[in-house]
Amino acid sequence: MKITLKDGSVKEYAQSMSVYDIALDISEGLARAACCAKVNGEVVDLRTVIDSDCELAICTASDKEGLATIRHTASHVLAEAVKNLFPDAKLTIGPSIDTGFYYDFDHAPFSREDLDALEAEMKKIIKAGEKLEKFTLPREEAIKFMEERQEPYKVELIRDLPEDAEISFYRQGEFVDLCAGPHLMCTKGVKAFKLTSSSMAYWRGKSENAMLQRIYGTAFNKKEELEEYLVYWENVKNRDHNKLGREMELFTTVDVIGQGLPLLMPKGAKMIQTMQRWIEDEEEKRGYLRTKTPLMAKSDLYKISGHWDHYLDGMFVLGDEKKDKEVLALRPMTCPFQYYVYKATQHSYRDLPLRYGETSTLFRNEDSGEMHGLTRVRQFTISEGHLIVRPDQMVQEFKDCLALAKYCLTVLGVEEDVTYHLSKWDPNNREKYIGEPEVWEETEQHIRQILTELDINFVEDVGEAAFYGPKVDINARNVYGKEDTMITIQWDALLAEQFDMYFIDQNGDKVRPYIIHRTSMGCYERTLAWLIEKYEGKFPTWLCPEQVRVLPISEKFTDYAAKVEAELKANGILATTDNRSEKIGFKIREARLAKLPYMLVVGQKEEDENLVSVRSRFAGDEGQKTLADFIDQICKEIRTKEIRKEVVQEEAK
């Protein structure tokens, strides 16, 4: 057989060979470094036997597949350590992920002390250097094997496998786990690892299932790589909006109020107010009409829209249809409400497009395990809009919605941080969607063509469409690498029929309009979380809840500081004064820690000549300026929403 290697060279063998033996034949060094391989593009175990011509790429720790194999093996070492120290823990799953690995256990919560003890146990397992041996069992024997080991989750996984699936296991010493691999040849291959955290998770991600405990870790081939990552990880944790936003007093949460129901504190509320006023003004310039609709409605409305059948689990329902004459539900979206605004008046083809915008407070019954800070909550506010358009206007209006979204991203300074997704229906899951296949195929093709014409790179995601139509999702990753949808633009050719919406065309006939569901900036809370992490709390001046702090160098200049503050506020600048009896160096450091854009130091000379000494995040000491000149400068910066570059500053002495 002929084996074509990734450098194009060919090795010939007269008999079947394992991947590991081929690596050993090439060089002992390669065999020692090998973690897994790709055969004809498919990732396989080093134990895999090759018996025919193929293309073979040996993967080491420098390849993503090789690093993933190290991390997958580390997850098995973790599982063995848990079973050694906590024998009653039940095993579930333990994959490698982009940042390392995790393993879920049915067990009481793990403390940091538990993780430290598990790390020590893992080091013992690694030092022992047990070989990882793969074996397979017939289906019934595999079930019996795991039943005897009292691992009910593994039994469930085996029962869910296809009848013809190969049921494989890996053994390392006395420990055995159900797994498809690939794995390293020996536990000693896990050379540098760290358990980073633990959290709650649901079995198979569903809140109705058992609550599990997830242990996260990471692993690298070299200690230096691990240390570098841990420094990076510490920085990530410090940038987490859930930590930084609380430290900056932007928001908080309270147990007695409830999970997923954050309280926006004055600074956070001010930032969202600033964004909301900007978005509403921008939409008005683009022809949007404001609506204000109820926060709840009878179940009848959601039955017409289809949400009752397709989205009920995500809604907060008030009442019981079996007992109550009238059942209400908090709204998870605004679309059916705005449809009735449209239906309140008869419209002709000349009236369209009609663009309705609303700053909408919505409610969604998120699983407790999914909620995090401001990114996934049960009550949130979005820049929601619905465009009622003639079919011939649909493509251009959809393009305009994309243009508005890109404008918002550009102003916020995050346009380079997003990915575009064409979210399509899943024809193999028909009960999830309304409408005929032809409609879905046609509308998806329209969106595909629009994105192509606009030269927007995108990926296609099957099964991510709304139940009534395909959409463009604009996504961004948080500091932990998790992707969230920030902006959505949906193509709807179906719901107008269900709500009996129409317009009168030039022939006097009733015609169904098309609908675009869209957000211009998305969810305000999630956007605030994104901006906290993007800027590490050092927001562009126009977004800052405190833009200037006036710092009198002593109590003698508090009157002049008050005059400066009043003049700033008269020009719409968010300003405060630090009148504490502290040294000026201390006040400057405090202002820096608060991540303020500008500090105005005032003393005798400034008062005598109507000046201010300007210090900023962007240029350090900017020198003395007249108050009028500074106001002109900052007002222009705020008006144009400029994002100034920052410089490293020396500590104030």
Give the model confidence (pLDDT) of 278-335 as tens digits.
999 999 999 999 999 999 999 999 999 888 888 888 899 998 888 888 999 999 999 9
List the single range of 117-131, 404-418, 434-448, 524-538 with lowest mean pLDDT. Answer: 434-448
Instruction: Say yes or no to pLDDT of 265 above 80.
Output: yes
- Nearest CA-CA partner of 69 in 43, 88, 93: 43
Q: Residue 602's beta-bridge partner residues? A: 552
d(CA 256, CA 276): 28
* Burial letters 42-57, b for 16+ CB under 10 A, else e: ebbbbbbebeeeeebb
Percent of the chain with pLDDT over 70: 99
Report the pLDDT averaged over residues 473-484. 88
Residues 6+ apart with CB under 8 A from 579: 552, 555, 558, 561
pTM metric for this prediction: 0.81
pLDDT at residue 8 in the model:
87
Give the model confidence (pLDDT) of 239-258 as tens digits.
999 999 999 999 999 989 99
Instruction: Say yes or no to pLDDT of 541 above 70.
Output: yes
In the structure, what pLDDT confidence band is assigned to residue 648 with cuts at 50, 70 and 90?
Answer: low
- Nearest CA-CA partner of 585 in 653, 638, 643, 537: 653
CA angle in degrees (0–180, nearest 5) for 307-309-311:
50
In the structure, what pLDDT confidence band is assigned to residue 369 with cuts at 50, 70 and 90?
Answer: low
Report the pLDDT averaged over residues 54-66. 93
- Average pLDDT value for the chain: 93
Give the model confidence (pLDDT) of 177-191 as tens digits.
999 889 999 999 999
**Among all chains, which residue has been given the structure tokens 């029962």?**
159
Instruction: Say yes or no to pLDDT of 468 above 90.
Output: no
pLDDT at residue 650 in the model:
45
pLDDT at residue 651 in the model:
44
Instruction: Say yes or no to pLDDT of 113 above 70.
Output: yes
Whether the Cβ atoms of residue 134 and residue 19 lie closer than 8 Å to each other: no
Report the pLDDT averaged over residues 70-75. 96
| 642 secondary structure, DSSP code | -
| Token pair belonging to 387 | 């465009």
Percent of the chain with pLDDT over 90: 81
Instruction: Say yes or no to pLDDT of 653 above 70.
Output: no
